[in-house]
Amino acid sequence: MADNLIATHSPQKSEVPAKGNRLVVTLSAIGVFAAVLGLVWMQSSKYEPLAVGKQAPDFALVDLNDKSVKLSDLRGKVVFLNFWATWCKPCKEEMPSMQVLYKSFEKDGLVVLAVSIDRVTTTKDIPPFLKSMNLTFPVLVDSWGRTDMPYKRTGVPETFIIDREGVIREIVIGPRDWTRLDSLTVLTGLLGVTPKTVKVPAST
């Protein structure tokens, strides 16, 4: 009788861990699936570009004198935010017109911020680069790529025109001649000034 009881109950005991194992496997599979979905969502969000009408991501970077500049501290001003690098040929071609833009509209409240994405190995090239081109607008340094993800750039140069409330009003991918009248429409509209053609001074 005792032997029969043991034989009858033994299979039931062996089924308990089997069911438990299936539950663990199922829960693990659900966890992995959820993690994959989360990763896909994060990646798609990461590479979704910024759009006109969205708030400009805030940041704090230092200028060439190690003075910290925070974008949100510039609320109330129109900001011309340009990303560039010393090794970028199109950036070099664009910058003389940026200098003219800066000098032409600084008195109207325009703030120019040229953010260099030169990494640590090439930041030493920034001062001589600016000097050789007689550029005097403010330059910030982002050697560690703090703005890479928030601004989701596709390359340089890229420019973001930001209004007085910190909202992006125009995005320009690639270089632009900022002395052209048709390049100034959004900018002059935000500044509340009459569009005017500005001229690059002849090189000496």
pLDDT at 49: 72
Q: What is the pLDDT of residues 139-151, one digit of tens each?
A: 999 999 999 999 9
Is the separation of the CB atoms in 198 and 104 below 8 Å?
A: yes
Which tokens go with 172? 């320009």
Q: What is the mean pLDDT of residues 73-79?
A: 97
pLDDT at 163: 98
Integer Cα distance of 118 and 143 in angstroms:
6
- Give the lowest-confidence range in 21-30, 115-124, 167-176: 21-30
Total-model pTM: 0.75
Integer Cα distance of 140 and 136 in angstroms:
12
Q: What is the pLDDT of residues 158-191, one digit of tens each?
A: 999 999 999 999 999 999 999 999 999 999 999 9
